Structure 1
Amino acid sequence: MYNPADTSGNFVAANKALAKREHQLSVLFDTIADVTFVLNVEGEGRYRFVFANKAFEKTTGLPVEQVVGRYVEDIIPEPSLSLVLTKYREAISSMERVIWQETTDYPTGQVTGEVSVTPVPDEHGRCCQLVGVVHDLTKEKQVEKALRISNERLAYALKATTDAIYDWTISDDSLYWGEGFEDLFGYQLAQNPTPFSEWADYVHPDDSPRVVAGLRHAAFETTNLFWQEEYRFRRANGTWAEVFDRGYLLRDAVGRAVRMMGAMQDITSRKQAERQRQQLTEKLISQNADLYQFAYIVSHNLRAPLANALGFSDLLTRVDKESVVFGASLQKLQTSLRLFDEVLTDVNEILLVRDEQAGYRPEPVPLAAVCQQALQGLHEALQAAGGQLHIMIPADLRVAGSRAYFHSIFHNLISNAIKYRAESRPLRINIVSTTAAAQGLAITVRDNGSGFDRERAGDNVFQLYRRFHVGQSGRGIGLYLVRAHVEAMGGQVTVASRPNEGTEFTLYFRPYADENLPH
């Protein structure tokens, strides 16, 4: 007999489960460092806030409860308001994500951010909501301003000749140093002048052929009056300074070099700032791509199982619980909720990786040992597959990075090779490292597995939820994590693959990355 009370109870339980999931999603968004908000698109070009995460309140100083339910014109002041309204209309018209930068005054002060809005269509294809993400660039802009000011001060300092001034007397091959040499590099000169060879000994061995030999070539084999180079110079404490050295050659009546007056400028801080700025730019580009993928996950991967769950929960309220339809619908509801949970788990793992990268500090990592540790966890799977793995990395090779990141990289690449092996031949995996002064370090992970069509895959290899092997289970985030870890350590990763031949991943890390690490 049909029992309305039972149906009502199931409906309430389903609603509670749905409410719990919505709460979990809200908590998830509140862990995101970037400002995230959702706007309802209403008539006459008006937009009402229906969601804002905690980062919204932290960044703007506006309490979330005072924002949700209000229109954008009540929250965003001019002149930013006119700009955002224009961008909202552009997103709705094109039904594509729109990105821009804006600076707005809030209770917390002036905030500069990169804003993106993504239109969400209803069942008729019309935009019903806008999902917005704001990445706060305020600190980065302040760093850029500070760097500009620092460069200006450096120019004035050069005019004041506070660098290491020297006078090279070519006839007796000696260098007389001004006071700046001791101040910049920490040496206490026992005698002054010093032999030219003493300066040459402090030049980094990899730079010496270019710098020392280049200077002598300019002095003795050309008629040049000016010489300049950038190179690494050893300080008294054993670390390396990056210097810009320029000099003026005095020549006699027949063109022979007799003296050179010059100045060594310590540009270590400037070079580090330039590298940080480059890394920041690359990070922002990467984060923008990640945000695009994250918006895709929210609008598609989460939306589909959630919509299915809602449909089946509604159906369950209208059919007899003893019927075949009820049982099948309940099973499909459970499947939808499980898929929903899996996507949430993936997103949580991705967010954890990004949080870890924010606090990343490099350490000297013994690559061969870490690779062996990663293999231990996969040894049984490798044996079961009848495979062999050869690690050709010097035992004493240490690289500036994160031990946990390298462990994750090796684990993912080895497990992928095992999973996607070719059934027609025994699996072989080779992990090889090569080093060169100019190119830095390259780590190659090569297998003879089933491979895939690299050209067809295009730029999607390392994106979320991209899989290239039919009939194999997988979550599609392993290679995303590999790229994230490599780039967090300042490296790059490439892949080459051909169907039924195998796959080769190459990890590149810049030269001299570990020079100033503690030993």
Structure 2
Amino acid sequence: MTAQSHSPDFYEKLVLNSSEMITVLDADNIFSFVNMAVVGVLGYQPEELLGRSVLEFIHPDDVAFATDALAGITTGQSSLIPPFRYRAKSGNWIWTLITGSCFLEDPAVQGRIVVWRDVTEKEEAKQQLEASEAHYKSLIYNHPDAVFSLTLAGKIKTINNGFTKITGFTSEIINAPFTDLAHPTFFSKVTQALTDASNGKSSSIKGKIIDKSGSAVYLSLTIMPVIVGDSVTGIQGIGKDISQLKKSNEKLERQAERLNSIFESVTQPFIVIDKKWRYAYVNKIFTSGLGKDTSYFIGKSIWEIFPEAIGSRFYNECHEVVRTGRSAHFDEYIPMFDVTLTYNIYPFPDGITVFFMDITKQKEVESELQKLSLVASKTTNGVVLMDAEGKIEWVNDGFTKLTGYSKQEALGRIPSELLQGPGSDPEAEKRIRDSYKKGVPFSEEVLNFKKNGERFWMHFEITPIFDENGNLTSFVSIETDITELKKKEEEAAMLAKDLFAHNRDLEQFAYIVSHNLRTPVANILGLGSLLSTTERHTQQFEKALSLLNVSTLQLDAVIKDLNNILSVRNHALSVTDETVLLSQVIYEVIESLRDRLDSCHASITIAVQENLKIKATKPYVYSIFYNLLSNSIKYRSSDRPLHISISLEEREEYSIIRFADNGIGIDLHKAGQKLFMLYKRFHSHVEGRGIGLYMVKNQAEAMGWSIKVNSNPGQGTEFQLFLNAHTA
């Protein structure tokens, strides 16, 4: 098929009325021709540009580049010049992409033909994406911890400055297997963590790696999969240097072992006296020391067996403990046995418990014990000695500085009762009680409260002390304030979560731009080219024009989707609560969809108080109900009239908005985690784009809400919106 020849008048009208801005620049870059499209692109009338230099309107920072680019338009070539900024009549800077052809030697033209296109929106989106990528790249590379990425084969792809600072390795480590860094004792854990990550599972491990100098560095590693769509495409890791903490723990363990070896050599008899001063219990150490068996004491009065003790300090202290309910601790010389005993007397509802010990034979080790006590009292860590029941017998100065409680305030108290409060983990408290009962060494990290009410995290290690007969006599606790460590761990975990979320959003955005924009843009370009060569008022021209309109609408829909998504993401951190009358918003949504509801004979039941107000963002609340109601109409059952119920259930700490219909339902087993993902649809027989539920979830989460779905195919669907603070 050969092109038809047309009159000059035809081509003149084609150029003058083209939707694209077409200009002619002479050799000095002066406008010699401008078509009417300039009005829509830049806002100028053609005569406002004619005779003026194109360089007058170019952004000062782009003039040099644009001058060289225009000069590069040579005869016989069609040159595409990268975008630069051009001043519109409104004063705004417009990013333009131009295509130029040189016809300076052609007497009919005598200039360069330049076609202008407004690409401002695309260029600004590109710059925004580049700025966002640069921001998160800076966060990663300047993070003090070691942040690195690996291939699925476990080879190192990227490292940050923290990685270099901790390990000493720079770019020479790239492409090396990460397992090469693992200490032999840590190799199997690292290998398993990498295997788990390649299968989509995150893990946290602790162990030693070998740095560049050959020294061992103790790390806490978090290994995570990088998931794109449904596939694991790589591995991300964060390593925190905990060598100093490890050394501190090892030092405390050595101190605890030393104290433990000392306390294991100490025996302590004890007795239980009831309210009538009768022996209720005596241990074997007590009876063997007096050469009597248990039956000699049980049920008899202590003052009848030892009448010489009446009037002694022991006698007076026992009565004082019963009277005041406060424990007593003292030493007393016993002339009858020519020994000095140390007593610990504790009250309990049915009497008193008396712990005592012969300290006469311990004089020779007094100096050593004083030295050990000095060490324990001066260490910055808290050291606590407890009896077999877990009650405090002694604390060092480190404990006092750590908690704010004096030694006198701590003596006789159980640490958990002294330090724990609202917010402490009851499960941890249960584990602690069980470990005390078992009499085994254990460690825990718990949230405690200082005397002034200040919250702090404590790591403690408990070591039980047994006498030579294997009887549990006491416990030693070494305590460390790990509040800052906890904060850093939480910050690292939050950063990793945020980085993962932002990475997922960037990937989703890139997917939309590269896939959803590609088809309509390609269609528009192709159809535009076809229209330029097709005669008007022909069937082919009309069909191409119709398809061009469809592609333009598709492009507009994708751009609106992007705007909606970016609006939620960009405003999520700045969402401000306002007082919203919930029932009013619901009725506004219903009225906006009244024609569609009436056409399908739908009925709606609303169980929401007319005057109920909530703290929320009204446009988001409106959008959520609009999308849910639209979906109910779209996916109604053909077997029964559509019925929708909207109700609100108020509980003590939160409220639940229930939105339910009797439509065709969703197979949640098939939908899985994809239910709220962008462009995911589960009913192909109904037209839609798959963005509604994505917007519902993102707008709900932006207001601090959460969402849950219950649905069965053929039975209907219920959405539950959980509001933390429900009433205004």
Q: What is the TM-score of this pair, normalised by structure 1?
A: 0.60
Q: 1:336 aligns with which of 532, 551, 561?
A: 551
Report deviation, 1:377.
5.3
RCO (CA 8 Å, sep 6+): is it higher in 1 or 2?
1
Q: 2:20 aligns with which of 13, 18, 22?
A: 13
2:240 is equivalent to residue 153 of structure 1 = no
Matches within 5 A, 1:300-315: 300-315=515-530
Q: Which residue in 1 is equivalent to 2:693?
A: 479
- Distance in 1, matches of 2:533 and 2:490, equals 63
Corresponding letter in the other structure for 1:155? K
Q: Which residue in 1 is equivalent to 2:158?
A: 102
- Distance in 2, matches of 1:3 and 1:274, equals 73
Q: 2:386 aligns with which of 145, 160, 168?
A: 168
Aligned partners of 1:7 and 1:321 also within 8 Å: no
Q: Which residue in 2 is equivalent to 1:262?
A: 477
Alignment CA distance shift 1:388-1:312 (3 Å): same
Report deviation, 1:240.
3.8
Report deviation, 1:245.
2.7
- Distance in 1, matches of 2:160 and 2:445, equals 41
Task: State the Cα RMSD in Å.
Answer: 5.2
Q: Which residue in 2 is equivalent to 1:191?
A: 408
The 10-residue stretch of structure 1 (341-350 or 166-175) with the greater mean CA deviation from structure 2: 166-175
Deviations 1:376-435 (A, max 9, x none): 65354588653234579xx9999xxx9789858954764455444636242124566889
Deviations 1:251-307 (A, max 9, x none): 334544332211333334434443444444444444444444333322321111112
Report how many aligned residue pairs link the two structures. Answer: 405
Structure 1 stretches lacking a partner, 5+ long: 37-53, 60-86, 88-98, 115-139, 515-519
- Distance in 1, matches of 2:539 and 2:499, equals 53
2:244 is equivalent to residue 26 of structure 1 = no
Alignment CA distance shift 1:396-1:179 (3 Å): farther
Report deviation, 1:31.
0.9
Alignment CA distance shift 1:169-1:465 (3 Å): same
Aligned partners of 1:231 and 1:243 also within 8 Å: yes
Q: Which residue in 1 is equivalent to 2:645?
A: 428
Aligned partners of 1:413 and 1:445 also within 8 Å: no
Report deviation, 1:343.
1.5
Q: Which residue in 2 is equivalent to 1:448?
A: 661
Q: Which residue in 2 is equivalent to 1:178?
A: 396
Matches within 5 A, 1:195-210: 195-196=412-413, 199-200=416-417, 202-204=419-421, 210=427
Q: Secondary structure at the match of 2:690?
A: coil
- Distance in 1, matches of 2:120 and 2:633, equals 36
- Distance in 1, matches of 2:446 and 2:592, equals 49
Q: Which residue in 1 is equivalent to 2:268?
A: none
Deviations 1:459-501 (A, max 9, x none): 4322222233456565432322444467789998664433332
Aligned partners of 2:421 and 2:449 also within 8 Å: yes
The 10-residue stretch of structure 1 (309-318 or 331-340) with the greater mean CA deviation from structure 2: 331-340
Q: Which residue in 2 is equivalent to 1:461?
A: 675
- Distance in 1, matches of 2:157 and 2:581, equals 42
Matches within 5 A, 1:494-513: 495-505=709-719
Deviations 1:295-323 (A, max 9, x none): 33223211111122112322332334455
Aligned partners of 1:14 and 1:313 also within 8 Å: no
- Distance in 2, matches of 1:22 and 1:271, equals 49
Q: Secondary structure at the match of 2:384?
A: strand
Deviations 1:121-177 (A, max 9, x none): xxxxxxxxxxxxxxxxxxx98xx46xx23x333334443753333222357933543
Alignment CA distance shift 1:459-1:169 (3 Å): closer
| Identity percentage of aligned residues | 24
Q: Which residue in 1 is equivalent to 2:457?
A: 242
2:447 is equivalent to residue 232 of structure 1 = yes
Report deviation, 1:14.
7.2
Q: 1:378 aligns with which of 571, 579, 589?
A: 589
Q: What is the TM-score of this pair, normalised by structure 2?
A: 0.45
- Distance in 2, matches of 1:374 and 1:35, equals 35
